[in-house]
Structure formats: structure tokens, C-alpha cells
Structure 1
Amino acid sequence: MSEAVVDDFYTARNLLYLGAYPQALSNLTHLRSNTAAWEFDVEKKSLQYRSYLGQGKHQQVLDEIPTTPSTPATLQALRHLTTFKYTAGDQRDAATAAITELISVPENLLSGTFVAIAAQVLALAQRHDEALSILAMHSNNLECSLMTTAILLSIDRVDLAQKTVARTRAWAEDAPLAQLAEAWTALHVGGQKYTEALYIFEELAQAAAVSTARIVCALAVCKMHLGLVTEAMAMLQDALERDQGDADVLANLVVCADLLALPWETKYHYLGLLREANPEHQFVVELDRKDKEFDVIAAKYL
């Protein structure tokens, strides 16, 4: 991807990652390319379709991205990511196999956007080393740097995530995606870093002039860690009003309701909404795994 393309889509990309999907789509409609029209069009469509995904329109993405070999690799990767996230079993295996084939083509790896999307599929398939390997090819790409940080945090390598954030802030200090990576890492470090993460998320919301469900949810998580659970619950309910299908908001509502010792009907209401919104959400998967482990242990005493 050329630097011109990166500059053209800087605002839309920031809005996407901050969860401001309508604003990202609005920004994209006003963008026109003077050069590299094909490359520009692919990048624009990738951001457009990812904004659709953020709005829960995964079927629209699957319907609109062709399955033909002539479809650009970046859009193919996005289709496979959508398939992996919203299906199960054999279809996930097929999506992972397709991504493996796409990353075997050296030309495809020249695009930072393609790599960022393909790495997400590999990470979801628990192939973290491969994901980090291709992301390392674009260490000066903000999306790839953010994705590297996210994957390192997911495998509890907070030390390496901190190093990645430090390297990124050295050349992109004020970039929203660099700040986002720093805030995520601060949440994992904990302690005094919870307050630092809170300030970063507040700054991001103010700078972008948007207060999305994603940002409000992040602020609520900070509040929970700081012991301000009642404030966190109010913020999460506000976030839910902004986006009733946001799985992360619903997962944190379950946790917050438990911390506040709310009636079990409240907790199971939010859990039911979460299962409906995203049955493959990590919180749901882990909870089901723990339930099965409990049943196995309990059966020994029956």
C-alpha cells in the first residue's frame, strides 16, 4: 500500500477502530482518488465492508464480496475473516485453509491491509506465531502494529506488547491507533496503568468527537478496574443504548452485574443477549468450558 493511500484513509480508519461505523462510512463516501485507482478502490471497499461488520451486517459482506479468483486478495481475506467469525466447524477450517493459501503468495503480503486482515484469521485459529510473523513484515503500518499488540496481549505476552507500543509511539506518537494500542496494553498491565488507560480512552473520544459504544465500553472497563463499579454499570447501559448488539458491552454487563450482586435474572438476561449477539464470543466460550469442567467435577460426588 502506498503512503498516499494511507493518508487518504487515515480518518476513516481511525473512525473504524474507534467504533464510529456510520461516521467512517460517511467519510468514505466523500473520498476520491486521483492516482492508483484500483488500489484506492480495494482499500476503500475493505474499510467499507469492515464498517458493515461493525454494524452487524456480516451477511451483506458475504453477499457483496465475490468468491471468484479475480477478487482482490484483501477482499478475499475479509470474506474469509467474516466466514470464520460468523460460522463454525468445517466452514472455519475452509476459511483458515484459504487464508493459508493466500499468504503463500508473496505479492499479497505487500499490502499491510491484507496482512492485518489475514493475521486476524490466523490468530482466531490459534496460529499466533504465523500471524505475528506476517505482521512483522509491516512494522511501520499502524493497523499491523495495533494487530500485533492485540495478539501479544491475547497470549499474555504483555512484555512484548509494551515493546511494540513503545516502538510505534516513537514514530506515530499522536496517531489514534497507537494510542489505542497503548490503552489496551495499560489495561493488561494494571495497577496505576488503569488510570492511564482511562485518560487515553477519554482523549480518543474527545479528539475524534465521537462517543461510541466501543469507547464507552472501554471507559467502563477502566472504571470497573478502578473499583467504580456503579459508574461502570451506568456507562455500560449507555453503551448498550448506542449499540444493542455489541457483544463486548454485553459481556461486560454480565461481569458488572455480578460485581454489583444484582439479581440473577439480570445477569442471565444480559448473558442471553450476548449468546444471541455472538455465540462464539470469548466470554461465552470460556463460560461454557468452565460449566463443563464443573459438571465433570460435580459428577464425581453424585
Structure 2
Amino acid sequence: MDPFSAEGELLNIHNAFHQGQYLTVIDFDISSLSTENKIPARVLQLRAQIAVGQAKEVLANIGKEGNAPDFAAVKVFAQYVSGSTSNAISEIATLVEAESENTTVQLLGGTVLQAAEKTEEALSLLGKHQGSLEAYEIRSFLHTTRPDADKALLHRIALIVQIHLQQNRTDLALKEVQAARKWAQDSLLVNIAESWVGLRMGGERYQQAFYVFEELAQAPSTSATKSLVGQAVAELHLGRFPEAEAALQQAIQKDPSDIEAIANSVVLKVISGKDTSEHTSNLEAIAPEHPLLVDLQEKSSFFDQAAGKYSAKVAS
């Protein structure tokens, strides 16, 4: 039985993680899980801790988790998030060489490599043994992989979609989603990935993405800052600024330090012609290297350089 299926024992913790309900994941009771599912469940818990800012705590205690390569991958990921980037990149290279077929190594290794702007290496690792898009479907339909392999493929596909979107290759991201949709029609992860692509493609896909994020954001059992931010971004694209602001305020109430909620609040204020100083200051304090701030600083510098070429002339 697929451990992530409707009857599978990992379904709830898996969905909670991808909905951004990290505290639910951390508190999830995994003691009664079968032996084969305890490691993937524990990995999700450790990743959730990292997501809520507890990377150093994870590093301090990771040695107690065991010798599975999954935990070695989590350690490297935590190192990268904690700022030990050079060590993490070096260690992930060694780990990939020894354990390239391990799903957690592929996923977290790919994440670290992409964050380090090693895109081709990340895609190569995430593409290990996947063959072609058609191979996804063949392996799924013939059930020739391990019980959890289909869901493991979905994890990798979701990350590949994110990477292609960062490359501005929406065509490749869409191709990945369409292939996955053929054999994982009801997957939450596919719905979310398809919504990411939809927000990039625009048109009627904005509304489709909104429906996905709104359903997650407004249901008490699935609401989280991540889904609220997704809803707000869709609202922004649809020109519904008051609704976007309401969703972002909900997200910040849930987590005042949520980086993406604050960053998108800055964007909303700019578009609405309102003062951005409060949210910008908050973002600078929490994430001074956030891409939005880096972009703003670069553009400000370019403006100053351009303005410096001209001097004011006073008519006599």
C-alpha cells in the first residue's frame, strides 16, 4: 500500500508539511508508525523545525537520529540554512557521490545546490534515474517502484518546477506539471505546483491558482501562512488589493516574522501607493539579504549613478 495514499499512515503529516503547517508536523506523533515510515516522517519533522527557524537546534541534535543517509542530508541542509554554506556545499557533494539514489539526499541536496546557484548540478541530481517524463508514467502505472516512489517523484518534480520557474523557463515547469498530473491527479503537491506555474503564466490561470490557495488558506484544518501568502499573491495578480491585504494581514497575525508575508506586503504597499517603511524595516531586520531588498538596493544604486551624470542648471 502506498504510505501516502488515502489509507496511508504518512498522508496527514505529508499534507501538513506541504500546506506549511510546520508546528503540526513537529508535534505529530510518529511513535505508532511502521518502521519503514518512521525515517521519512522524522525527516519531515526535522525539515519543519528548520522551516520555523530551528536549524541550529536540528544541528545540535541530529547526531541522535541515527546513521541513515536521510539524516546526513538533513544535517547538510541545516548547515546551509544556518550560514555554513561552503561546508554544506562541500559535504553535499560527498554525500551525493555516495548516496545519489536516496530520495532525501536528492531532494535536500538539490535544494542546497540550487540555493548555491548550481542549477545544472541540482537538476542533474533531481533527475537521477527518472529517465524521461514518459518513464514517470510507465513506472507509476506498472507499479515497478518502491511503495513510496510515486510520492518521492512528486517531491522531486515540485522542486524541479521551482527551479525552472527561477530560470524563467515556464515552458519546462509546465511540462513537468502536466506529466505529473497524468498519474497523480488528486495530489496536493501537484495542485500547488500547478498553481505556482499558473501565477507565472497569467490570464485565467490566476483565478485557478486563487481557488487552490484560498481553499487551503480559509479552511481551519489547512490554513497556514504559506497558503495565505499564496492566496494574497493570486489576489494581487487579479487586481483585488483589499482582499490581498486582508490575506497578508492574516498571515502576519499567524506569524509576525514570516518573511514572504512581509515581503509581499511591501510589494502590495508599493502597488497601492502607500508607505512601505514599516514593512521594509521589518524585512531588513529579519532577512537583510532577501531578493526583494537586494533588487531594491541595486535599482536605487543604478538610479543614483544615472542621476549623477546630470547636474542642476539654474537659468540666470
Q: TM-score range by the shorter chain?
A: 0.7 to 0.9
Going from structure 1 to structure 2, the CA distance change for 1:31 and 1:234 (only over 3 Å counts) comes to same
Q: Distance in 1 between matches of 2:71 and 2:296?
A: 33
Hey, what does 1:16 align to over in structure 2? 17
Going from structure 1 to structure 2, the CA distance change for 1:94 and 1:201 (only over 3 Å counts) comes to same
Match of 2:295 among 269, 272, 286: 286
Match of 1:257, as an amino acid?
K
Alpha-carbon deviation of 1:288?
2.7
Q: SS at the partner of 1:227?
A: coil
Hey, what does 1:80 align to over in structure 2? 76
Alpha-carbon deviation of 1:258?
1.1
Match of 1:115 among 95, 98, 106: 106
Q: SS at the partner of 2:34?
A: coil
Match of 1:237 among 249, 272, 278: 249
User: Conserved in 2, the CA contact under 8 Å of 1:119 and 1:135?
Assistant: yes
Alpha-carbon deviation of 1:67?
10
1:32-58 CA distance string (max 9 Å, x none): 34344xxx4432321111111222222
Going from structure 1 to structure 2, the CA distance change for 1:285 and 1:100 (only over 3 Å counts) comes to farther
- Structure 1 moving runs of 4+ over 6 Å: none
Greater per-residue helix proportion:
1
> RMSD in angstroms over aligned alpha carbons?
2.4
Match of 2:209 among 171, 186, 197: 197
| TM-score normalized by the length of structure 1 | 0.87
1:149-183 CA distance string (max 9 Å, x none): 11111111100100100111111111100111000
Going from structure 1 to structure 2, the CA distance change for 1:180 and 1:5 (only over 3 Å counts) comes to closer
Hey, what does 2:34 align to over in structure 1? 34
Match of 2:53, as an amino acid?
G
Gap runs ≥5 in structure 2 = 131-135, 137-149, 312-316
Match of 1:104 among 97, 105, 116: 97
Match of 1:145, as an amino acid?
I
Hey, what does 1:149 align to over in structure 2? 161
Hey, what does 1:134 align to over in structure 2? 125
1:43 correspondence with 2:40: yes
Hey, what does 2:221 align to over in structure 1? 209
User: Conserved in 2, the CA contact under 8 Å of 1:25 and 1:48?
Assistant: yes
User: Conserved in 1, the CA contact under 8 Å of 2:30 and 2:41?
Assistant: no
Q: Distance in 1 between matches of 2:103 and 2:198?
A: 25
Alpha-carbon deviation of 1:85?
2.8
Q: Distance in 2 between matches of 1:73 and 1:208?
A: 36
User: Conserved in 2, the CA contact under 8 Å of 1:46 and 1:74?
Assistant: yes
Going from structure 1 to structure 2, the CA distance change for 1:19 and 1:171 (only over 3 Å counts) comes to same
Hey, what does 2:314 align to over in structure 1? none
Alpha-carbon deviation of 1:184?
0.4
1:203-226 CA distance string (max 9 Å, x none): 344678221111111101101100
Q: Distance in 1 between matches of 2:80 and 2:184?
A: 31
Hey, what does 2:140 align to over in structure 1? none
| TM-score normalized by the length of structure 2 | 0.83
Identity %: 29
Task: Provide the aligned length of Structure 1 versus Structure 2.
Answer: 288
Q: SS at the partner of 1:110?
A: coil
Hey, what does 1:218 align to over in structure 2? 230
User: Conserved in 2, the CA contact under 8 Å of 1:67 and 1:76?
Assistant: no
Going from structure 1 to structure 2, the CA distance change for 1:4 and 1:224 (only over 3 Å counts) comes to closer
Q: Distance in 2 between matches of 1:66 and 1:93?
A: 21
User: Conserved in 1, the CA contact under 8 Å of 2:4 and 2:14?
Assistant: no
Alpha-carbon deviation of 1:64?
1.6
Gap runs ≥5 in structure 1 = none
User: Conserved in 2, the CA contact under 8 Å of 1:56 and 1:245?
Assistant: no
Hey, what does 1:53 align to over in structure 2? 50
User: Conserved in 2, the CA contact under 8 Å of 1:197 and 1:222?
Assistant: yes
